[in-house]
Amino acid sequence: MARLRLVPPENVIFTTHLDVRVTDVNYGKHLGHVELIGLLHHARAEFLAAHGMTEIDIEGRTLLVVDLAVSYRSEAFFGQTLMIDIGMVFEGSRGLEFTYGVRDQATGELVAVAQTGVVFADPEARAVVQVPQTLRALIEEGVK
């Protein structure tokens, strides 16, 4: 498999800080890959909440993750605080790409880079719809 060439977000619109908990550490004594994905999810949920949204209600639409890519750059350990930067870019009229840069808060060392592709669905019609205007506006304004 070809190596991923992911880069941290260029236009950061949100930053949060999350601690690596003991339950996030695997048998290798570092942050596990499943747990990292959970931290990315948590960061995305914090971003939405900061703007009055949830993954199940963005203008009545539901956010659906359709793909995920992660490139690990260094280890993270129990007790470290991670700084997670989030960016967003349009992927056509119906999709967005969330990009993430995960760094050790103390040293600035890059721990991981990731992206999640998302679409939005009308839960009643069970159909994919256009990106909600609220998110379009946040991207265009570069809101933090």
Task: Tell me what pLDDT residue 93 has.
Answer: 87
* Residue 144 pLDDT class (50, 70, 90 cuts): low
The CATH number of the domain covering residues in 14-141: 3.10.129.10
- State the pLDDT at residue 143: 66
Q: Do residues 102 and 111 touch, judged by C-beta distance below 8 A?
A: yes
pLDDT in tens, 21-59: 999 999 999 999 999 999 999 999 999 999 999 999 999
Question: Against a cut of 0.85, is the pTM above it?
Answer: yes
pLDDT band at 141 (very low <50, low <70, confident <90, very high): confident
pLDDT tens digits, 55-112: 999 999 999 999 999 999 999 999 999 999 999 998 888 999 999 999 999 999 999 9
- Give the CA angle between residues 121, 96, 98 to the nearest 5°: 120
- Domains of the chain by residue range: 14-141
CB atoms within 10 A of CB 5: 8
Predicted local confidence at residue 4, as pLDDT: 82
Write phi, then psi, for 83 (nearest 5 degrees): -100, 120
